Amino acid sequence: MDQYTLNLVVIGLSFALYIGIAIWAKADTTSEFYAANRGISPVMNGMATAADWMSAASFISMAGLIAFTGYDNSTYLMGWTGGYVLLALLLAPYLRKFGKFTVPEFIGERFYSRTARIIGVICLLVVSITYVIGQMEGVGITFARYLGVTKETGLWIGAAVVFAYAVLGGMKGVTYTQVAQYVVLIIAYTIPAIFISLQLTGNFLPQLGLFGTHADSGVAFLAKLDQVVTDLGFNSYTGHHRSTLDMVLFTLALMIGTAGLPHVIIRFFTVPKVSDARKSAGWALVFIALLYTVAPAVGSMARFNLTATMWPGAATGETFSQPALAVSDIDTRPDLQWMKNWETTGLLKWEDKNGDGLIQYYNDKATDGPVVEMAAAQGLQGNELTTISNDIMVLANPEIANLPGWVVAIVAAGGLAAALSTAAGLLLAISGAVSHDLVKGAFNPNISEKNELMAARISMAISILVATLLGLHPPGFAAQTVALAFGLAASSIFPVLMMGIFSKRVNSAGAIWGMLAGILSTLIYIFTYKGWFFIAGTNMLEDTADQWLFGISPASFGVIGAVLNFLVAYLVSNATEEPPVEVVELVESIRVPRGAGVATHH
């Protein structure tokens, strides 16, 4: 069976499984659609939460980000994992005890205001739509490569599959589908990592291989990688080259952004008891760790394999001991077929600028070191591997390492599982906010359950269409787009939830003005440097570190937005009347452990 057919069979079987589960677990009531009838066990919910949370950014982009930057991009690992701990300890149990279906519903009731609830919906929609664009980008890339279609066609196929199981099954169907998707994605991520770790270091466990010895040279693997990349004029892999202030703020933005993600929070509304919310958070961390501890090894080994492909000397001895990869080799060698495969997607490009028949890959901005001498001696006219997307490294890894065809097919299915599982969770959060908080909560409180369920399905279908259209022209690669969504969640949703649970003094006016200050300041900052991409697709200012305010990147600004949110909320609350007595009692009842096995509301 050829590789294309194998990809088609494996991806087709995984899709059939997801849609079959959705038909089996069809939601017939709003309780099943929004919260799976609160009947999911902690272990299963932990696995579904892990799949929901580990998106295309985690599966496809994160290792690529680490591969090309090294230590400095470990912020993604630290921020996302730390944020999950924050969510599990500070928010999940209390929100479950409150016993509602959606995040805006909590905001509306805690701050006794329909306006607060509507602003909560707007914040949720901005965060979730930005986040889902990154997922659709991942779906498009994966389909483009493995099914030989354009990225645009891939996006529409992915949208159709999500539509088939999310609109039908709601939270009940999505939960069981996400359990299946977790199994697919963890197998797909781990198997190639084990193979490649054995090839490069002789270690079965990639986590140990990262700190092991490079098999061919006998040098510590990370030291060998450092030598190879610095030879080529790039920054050392294990060194720290980024502004420490921005690194700290970015990690914090990812942490508190994670704790404010609506699609992850609603997963904790699906368990029977408050204590189960804590347990499922613990299980989710275990399942997440299985991928997150492997990601640094995958990133570093992908970078080494790529470099060794471009400069065969890198794999054995001195980087420049053998000439660079010949253009003619790409056309004739089966082990280099992956380069032609990825070139057709536009995510990998090369150009023989000096006509010597070789592709010299190096940092042409370097000012000293072996690469400068080599470039001068060979009359090079700039780096000839002109484009290599972060998003292709995990997906291309099995092909670069010449692993069997079935491994390549499983990785394709895993990339799609990661993107689709998170897309479904986000779309559920969006449809719940529109149908439950806007249609029922704000405009038509007397709507029948049947009509509310229909509104939920229609709003999800519209959300899928909007996400797909925006995914055709994303503001960055998958993890960049997702990082912006985390900043928006950090500045708008996390502070209002924290104040709603832990402060009796913050009132409706404070919550409303706080949310507006947080999300508007962050949106303005992001749009200023990233460009008004939704409108014109052009930058107002150059998106470079020397242009940023105090060196703070757009993806890190969420922390500043969160501080503004807290500050404005407290100032406005203290200048206006205190919350009603029943709201103060409600806050106490959420926080006090008395009867922690039972939710106060049903």
Question: What pLDDT shows up at residue 296?
Answer: 94
State the Rg of the chain over Cα: 25
Q: Using the structure block, give the residue that is written with the tokens 């090369």.
A: 350
Q: Is the pLDDT of residue 442 over 90?
A: no
Confidence of residue 274 (pLDDT cuts 50, 70, 90): confident
* pLDDT at residue 505 tops 70: yes
344, 154 contact by CB (below 8 A): no
- Give me the phi and psi of 416, to 5 degrees please: -70, -40
Classify residue 323 by its DSSP letter.
Answer: P
Give me the pLDDT at residue 535, please: 40
pLDDT of 95 > 90? The answer is no
H/E element holding 326? strand 325-326
pTM for the whole thing?
0.83
pLDDT tier at 601, thresholds 50, 70, 90: very low
**Residue whose structure tokens are 């004739």:** 332
Euclidean distance between CA atoms 432 and 356, whole angstroms: 59
Residue 602's pLDDT is 42
Q: Does domain 3-301+399-591 have CATH number 1.20.1730.10?
A: yes
Gap between the Cα atoms of 249 and 307, Å rounded: 32
C-alpha–C-alpha distance, residues 3 and 318, integer Å: 35
- Decide: 452 and 30 in contact? Cβ < 8 Å: yes
Q: How far apart are CA 427 and CA 584, in angstroms?
A: 33
Looking at the predicted structure, is the pLDDT value of residue 147 above 70?
yes
Q: Which of 163, 177, 188, 183 is nearest to 60 (CA)?
A: 188
Enumerate residues 6+ apart whose C-beta is below 8 A from 11. Answer: 146, 147, 409, 412, 413, 416
pLDDT at 460 over 50: yes
Whether residue 65 has pLDDT greater than 90: no
- pLDDT the model gives residue 514: 97
- Band the pLDDT of 542: cuts 50, 70, 90: very low
Helix, strand, coil shares, percent, the chain, to 5? 75, 0, 25
Residue 157 pLDDT greater than 80, yes or no: yes
Q: Are 532 and 139 in contact (CB under 8 A)?
A: no
Q: What is the mean pLDDT of residues 19-24?
A: 83
Asked whether the predicted pLDDT for residue 392 surpasses 90, the reply is no
| Confidence label for 550 from pLDDT (cuts 50, 70 and 90) | confident
| pLDDT > 90 in the chain, percent | 29
Q: What is the H or E stretch that residue 359 is in? A: strand 358-359
pLDDT at 445 (0 to 100): 85
Cβ atoms of 478 and 137 within 8 Å: the answer is: yes
In sequence order, what E strands does 515-559 have? Answer: none
**Which 3-state string (H, E, C) describes 360-390?**
CCCCCCCCCCHHHHHHHHHCCCCCCCCEECH
The CA distance from 151 to 136, in Å, is 10
Mean pLDDT of the residues in the chain: 85
% of the chain beyond a pLDDT of 70: 94
Q: What number is the average pLDDT over the span 206-221?
A: 91
For residue 342, CA distances in Å to 140, 232, 325, 396 come to 13, 23, 17, 8
Residues ≥6 apart with Cβ < 8 Å to 451: none
Angstrom distance (rounded) from CA 139 to CA 423: 10
What Cα–Cα distance (Å) separates residue 351 from each residue in 333, 355, 356, 399? 18, 9, 11, 22
Average pLDDT, stretch 224-250?
89
Listed residue (599, 371, 475) closest to 132, CA to CA: 475
What pLDDT, on the 0 to 100 scale, is given for residue 536?
A: 39
348 bridge partner residues: 388
Does 537 score more than 80 pLDDT? Answer: no
Query: In the predicted model, what is the mean pLDDT of residues 230-244?
Result: 89
Q: For residue 1, count CB atoms less than 10 angstroms from its CB and return exposed for 0-12, middle for 13-18, buried for 19 or more.
A: exposed
In whole angstroms, give the CA distance from residue 592 to residue 94.
9
pLDDT at 476: 55
Average pLDDT of span 169-185: 84
Residue in the structure block whose two tokens are 């080599």: 374
pLDDT at 300 over 90: yes
Q: In this predicted structure, what is the pLDDT of residue 163?
A: 81
For residues 397-428, one letter each, b for 16 or more C-beta atoms within 10 angstroms of the residue's C-beta and e for the rest, the string is bbbbbebebbbbbbbbbbbbbbbbbbbbbbbb
Instruction: Tell me the average pLDDT across 442-469.
Output: 86
Indicate whether 376 pLDDT > 70: yes
List the chain domain ranges.
3-301+399-591, 309-398
Question: Look-up: residue for tokens 């757009």?
Answer: 554
